[in-house]
Structure 1
């Protein structure tokens, strides 16, 4: 099974979502505070809250 990872670094929160490629169903989501000026930290925090079992199979 293959998945895609989406990230939205917004003004207050950074959202992360894992989508199953075969049927485009949302499998897992997480939200973390957006970190300024280093957006990468907020992105890492959002990804850290996702289920690792799916992250291993992220292709996009």
Structure 2
């Protein structure tokens, strides 16, 4: 179960940082350089870890 928390923490930090950079890029008018498929993969990992914590199963 500890791995789910670890994956959730790291993907949460990554997604929060990406969102912060997105807001900064829009404010400054610069290009947002992240790839959508990469963000989608990280979001899916976040959701799997969250689901694993909720139901008590380890997916990773």
In the superposition, the TM-score normalised over structure 1's length comes to 0.28
Normalized per residue, the structure richer in strand is: 1
Higher relative helix content: 2
Relative to the length of structure 2, the TM-score reads 0.28
